Amino acid sequence: GGPVARPAQAGPISKHAALDGLFTTQWRNSNTSWVPKTAAISFQVQRRIAQLMHTPWHAMRDSEEIAVTFYGPGDFYRSHLDSTSKELATRRHATVLYNLE
């Protein structure tokens, strides 16, 4: 039992904020190919990401439409999360998916 990770979506495109010391934006199109883009992220979003890094997965609110996947350094492979995931603070390379709207 327990919550299961589900990606936040806004149509066919999701916005990804990579947490590797830099706030880099990745865009995923409907073909699931990755197009790197650098973009400024608002202070509010940066603060929310910092909060998520210290929030257990099961404590996140579904209403926030936020899901998390992890990537290795410089890699773009996918790893699905479930209710057994450890706290985000234990993973350096985390990617927070948040709704575009």
Alpha carbon distance 24, 5 (integer Å): 22
Q: What residues have CB less than 8 Å from 77, skipping those under 6 apart?
A: 71
pTM check: above 0.85 = no
Chain CA centroid to CA 64, Å:
12
Task: State residue 65's pLDDT score.
Answer: 33
Q: Tens-of-pLDDT digits for all 101 residues of the chain? A: 444 444 443 333 333 433 333 333 333 333 333 333 333 344 455 455 556 555 554 554 443 333 333 333 333 323 333 333 333 333 333 344 333 22
Q: Is residue 5 part of a domain?
A: no
Q: Is residue 3 part of a domain?
A: no
Task: State residue 78's pLDDT score.
Answer: 30
- Radius of gyration of the chain from Cα atoms? 13
- Nearest CA to 14 out of 28, 34, 32 is that of 28
* Total number of domains constituting the chain: 1
Q: Is residue 1 part of a domain?
A: no
Task: State residue 70's pLDDT score.
Answer: 34
Instruction: Write out the residue range of the structural domain in which residue 24 sits.
Output: 14-98
